[in-house]
Amino acid sequence: MPLVGGLIDWVAEQMARPSLDFLLANKSENNLGQEGYVLSVRTNRIVIAAQTTTGLFYGYQTLLQLLPPEIFSTNKVSGVKWEIPCVEITDSPRFPWRGLMLDVSRHFFTKSEVEKLLDVMALHKLNTFHWHLTDDHGWRIEIKKYPKLTSVGAWRDGVGFGLATNSTTAYDPDGRYGGFYTQDDIREVVAYAAARHITIVPEIEMPGHALAALAAYPEFGTGSGPFTVPLKGGVNRGIYSPANEQTFQFLDDVLTEVAQLFPGKYIHIGGDEVPKEPWKNDATCQALMKREGFKNEEELQSWFIRRIEKIVSAKGKTILGWSEILQGGLAQNATVMDWIGGGREAASQGHDVVMSPKTHCYLDFYQSRNRTAEPRAIGGFLPLQTVYAFEPIPAKLAPEFHQHILGAQGNIWTEYISNLKQVEYMAFPRLAALAEVTWSPKEVRQYDDFLRRLKLHEQRLEQLGVSYRKSTLGDGADATPVKPKAKPKTKSISSQ
C-alpha cells in the first residue's frame, strides 16, 4: 500500500509531470479538524491541503482512488490511460473512531498478514485496529515476566472447530497449532500501523475468556481444573479469581508490559460473557462478596473491573470493555464498546461509547441466507445493505450526549475463519460499507450509489490481491434459507 510520497514521482511522470503539492494549512483558515483535507485537481496542478499529516494522508488516499484501479497493482502495468478528473473536494470524517477488530486467539495470523489488513484499512480511511490478542483458545502476545503465557498458552493440539487441518498453516515444527507475537513483532506492527495513521487497541480479556492464561498459570483461576487451551470454548469454564490478591498482581504485571508496547489511549479489557457459576461455587469468592456486602456476582464483576480500571489508569491509559462492564455499575473512567446494548445508557451517563452491535457490525456472520453457498460461519445473517443502513447514534439518545458516541467498528471473530483469504472475504465489501457509514454524513449516503461505486472499488481490491465477496452475488436476502446442521453437544460459550 503506497504511503504519502511512495508514488508521487511516478504519478507525476505518468501524467506529464503536473505539480503535486502537499500543504499544511493554518488551523485558523478552515475547520478541517485533525483528519480532514482539501483536494484540488486542476489541469496542471494537484494540491492536498490539511491541518495535519493525517489529513494529508487521507487526501492522498482519495487522490489514488481518482486514478485508474491499476494504480494499486503490485506489478508493472501498461496500456493504462493515467488521468484524474478535475475536482475540488473538501472532506472530513463524521466520527473519530472508524475501526476493525480481528480475533487472533481462535486462529493465529502472522505479522505480515496483519500488516496486509492494515494496508487495506488505510485505503478505506479506517483509523483504529482493535487487536483481540487473548481469549480461551490462545494467548498471542509475549509477556516477559510470564513466559508460559506463550510457551503454553499460545498452543493447542489442533485447529479445532471442526475445520480441516489444511485450512491454515499456523503449526509449529512439532505440529502444535497456534503462535504468538514477540514484543519486537508488536513494536513493528504498531509502527507499521502508525505510518498509516492507524491506532492499535490491544485487548487482554478478563475476568472471563481466560482459559489460555490459566492453562499456563492455573493458580490465578477459579473453577474446576486443570485448565487447558481448548479446541472449542466453554469446556472448563474457568475464570480469574477476584478473591486471590495475586491475580491482580499478575494482571497488573501483564498490563504494565502491554501499556509499554501500545502508545494509544485505550486498553481493551473484555469483560464480556463472564460465567458466574465458578464464583458462586467458590468459597473464597463468596467470602469476598460477604465481606464487601455484594448482593450478587454482577456486583463482584463490577468490583473486579473497577480495580482493573485503577490499574490501567495508573499507567496513563483508559479501559475499554464490552457491554457487560455495565453490569453492577460502570467504572468511573471506562469507555464502553456496545455489542448487545447499553451504549445509549453509558453515553447518557457521560461515558464515551464505540458502537459495534452484532446486528450491524459482526462481519463473521453469513452474507447469504443460503448457507451452503457461503463459507462456514458462526451463524447469523448480515447482508451488505444492513451494514450500510447502520446508524451509530443510538435512537432516543439526547443530542447533548451525541458527542460521546466515538464511532463504530466491524468485528471479525474467527472461530470458523482460519486463514487471511477468508478474513478478507468476510470483511469485504461489508467493511467498505461500514467505512462509509463512519466517514460520510448520514444525509448524503445512498445505497444504490454505493453499489454503483462498489463495482469500481472491486477492481481496486483485485489489484491489491484482496479476496472479497463479489457484488454480483447480491445481498443473499432473497436466497432460500438452508437449515443449518444440528450443533454438536460440545460448543463454544458464544461468538466471543
Q: Report the interhelical angle of 447-464 vs 111-123 (nearest 10°).
A: 140
**In whole angstroms, what is the distance from residue 382 CA to residue 366 CA?**
6
Question: Is 209 assigned a catalytic role?
Answer: yes
Catalytic residue among 209, 268, 351, 360: 209
Cβ partners under 8 Å of residue 49, min gap 6: 22, 23, 24, 25, 37, 38, 40, 59
Active-site residue, 157 included: no
* Helix pair 420-427, 111-123: axis angle to 10 deg: 20
The 8-class DSSP code of residue 320 comes to E
Provide the grid cell at 111.
Answer: 505479522
Active site residue: 70, 119, 142, 273, which one?
273
**360, 382 Cβ separation under 8 angstroms:** yes
Give the angle subtended at the CA of 338 by the CAs of 311 and 115, to the nearest 5°: 75
Catalytic residue among 70, 119, 135, 324: 135
Q: Is 260 left (phi over 0), alpha (psi -120 to 50) or beta?
A: alpha
| Closest to 275 (Cα-Cα) out of 354, 205, 361 | 205
Which residue shows C-alpha cell 494540491? Answer: 47
Type of residue numbered 330? L
Max Cα–Cα distance, the chain, nearest Å:
78
> Reduced to 3 states, what is the DSSP secondary structure of residue 417?
coil
Would you say 342 and 271 are in contact if contact means Cβ atoms under 8 Å apart? no
Q: How far apart, in whole angstroms, are the C-alpha atoms of residue 215 and residue 252?
A: 19
From the number of C-beta atoms within 10 Å of its C-beta (0-12, 13-18, 19+), residue 226 rates as exposed
CA triple 138-357-269, angle to 5 deg: 40
Q: Please give the grid coordinates belonging to residue 204.
A: 487482554
DSSP 74: S
Cis before 242 (ω within 30):
no
Residue positions annotated with a catalytic role:
135, 209, 273
